[in-house]
Structure 1
């Protein structure tokens, strides 16, 4: 579902066929999860394909490498240009883009000497679908920020997300909600959390969560729409008494939450602050960069 015989990827400065590419089975990334990646969306607009917040995503990719001591010398501009060319070569406009920085063979627990960059793209709808989600609080918590670089998008960190999502689905839910190691609300396996109470939005503060680029966009949109947002430490009980809630992320975009552990939120989704932000986000990402008064 991700590629076919004609699909092209960007690999170490060249465009090559996806099905003719290979990697080393002794890669440090394969054995230890020591690599970093991004998830980026491209949208069709009146003036052509637009990669939403491409600069911010590639800046974060480079920052993730820096945080976990992975050497990486591509510039953001080079990566952005390669992404647009990749989309063109694959005839893609509405697409999901996945850059991956992976390490050379190395069985020691030390930083790599050399790394590779791969960028691929495919058509992918909203990751979590378009219906409101039924969540369950996971038995897994987010890793303690002193145990990893929580703000880095590292491959191995997502084992935690896979375990949480698998547990939720095995128990009949759509997705998981993870707490931090102190029992406060954190985030979803691949999305940030917002909840509404009496017209005010609340979201877990940075420190125990990934600083999502979509999360930052939602904060910008809320400010433009005059919606008050508070960031802090919040308990599951505070979420339980909320009027509504939603997840946001590059893959998920903005999606409403129906319930947590079968406790439904009382406010009709169409009347929520989250729905207003969903509409504003959908409009923003599909605008041409040439028409934007503020470039997001």
Structure 2
């Protein structure tokens, strides 16, 4: 589903066919999860194909590498150019872009000497589709921020996410909602969390979460539309009295939540602040005005 015999990707300075791409089985990334990546979306906007928040995503990729000590030499502007060339070579418009910084052979637990870049793209719908989601509070917590760099989008961190999502699916839910080490709401395995109560949106503060680029976009939209929004700790008990909630992330975009632990929210989704944010976000990625969006 991600590539065909004609798909082109970027690998170590060259555009080649995906079927011809190979990697070293002794890669430190493969064995220890020591690598960095991004998830980026491109849209067929009113002004042509545009990569949404391209600069911010590639800046974060570079920052992730720096935070964990992976030497990475590409400049942000160069990465943006490669991404647009990749879309053009594959004749893609609405698509998902995945850059991956991975390390060469190294069986020791030390910083790598050889570091490589792969970038690919494919057509990919919203991660959760358009349905309202049924979440459960996960038995898996987000890691202690003193154990790793929470603000780095590093490959190995996502073992925690896979465990939480897999557990939720086995239990019959669409997705998990994870708590932090202090028992407060943190985030979903691959998306940030917003809760609505009494006309105000709340979202967990940075520290125990990946501070998502889509999360920041939502905060900006709220300020532009005069939607009250606060960053603070959210206890699990507050979920029961909330009016609505949603997830946000590059892959998921804005995904409304129907219930948590089989307890539905009080508001209908179309009446919620999240639905307003969802419409404004859609307009922004398509480079359309959302001045008509009124709360």
* Fold equivalence (TM over 0.5): yes
| Mean CA deviation greater in 164-173 or 230-239 | 230-239
Gaps of 5+ in 2: none
Residues 1:108 and 2:108 are matched in the alignment: yes
Tell me what 1:249 maps to. 249
Q: Deviations over 1:187-235 (max 9, x none)?
A: 0000000000011000000000001000000000000000011111110
Q: Are residue 159 (structure 1) and residue 187 (structure 2) matched?
A: no
8 Å CA contact retained: 2:283, 2:290: no
Q: Which residue does 2:139 correspond to in 1?
A: 139
Partner of 1:216: 216
**Structure 2 SS opposite 1:139:** coil
User: Is 1:126 the counterpart of 2:126 in the alignment?
Assistant: yes
Work out the CA distance in 2 between the residues paired with 1:129 and 1:122.
16
Aligned equivalents of 2:202 and 2:134: distance in 1?
A: 19
1:264 is matched with which residue? 264
Residues 218-237 of structure 1 aligned to structure 2 (within 5 Å): 218-237=218-237
User: Runs of 5+ in structure 1 lacking a partner?
Assistant: none
Taking the aligned partners of 2:9 and 2:182, their CA distance within structure 1 comes to 42
Structure-to-structure mapping, 1:20-169, within 5 angstroms: 20-169=20-169
Helix, strand or coil: the match of 2:140?
strand
Query: CA deviation digits over 1:268-288, x for unaligned, max 9?
Result: 100000000000000100117
Instruction: Kindly provide the CA deviation profile for residues 135-185 of structure 1, in whole angstroms up to 9, marking residues without a partner as x.
Output: 000000000000010100000000000000000000000000000011000
1:50-95 superposed Cα distances (whole Å, 9 cap, x missing partner): 0000000000000000000000010000000000000000000000
Q: Number of residue pairs matched? A: 291
- The answer to which of 39-48 and 213-222 deviates more is 39-48
User: In 2, Cα distance between the equivalents of 1:47 and 1:136?
Assistant: 40
Q: Where do residues 183-194 of structure 1 align in structure 2 (5 Å cutoff)?
A: 183-194=183-194
- Residue 17 of structure 1: aligned partner: 17
Query: Is 1:2 aligned with 2:13?
Result: no
The C-alpha deviation readout for 1:102-161, integer Å capped at 9, x for no partner, is 000000000001100000000000001111100000000000000010100000000000
> How far does residue 46 in structure 1 lie from its aligned partner after superposition?
2.6
Runs of 4+ in 1 over 6 A off after TM superposition: none
Listed one character per residue, the Cα deviations across residues 243-269 of structure 1 (whole Å, up to 9, x for unaligned) are 000000000000100000001001010
The 5 Å alignment of 1:268-287 reads 268-287=268-287
TM-score, normalised to structure 1, is 0.97
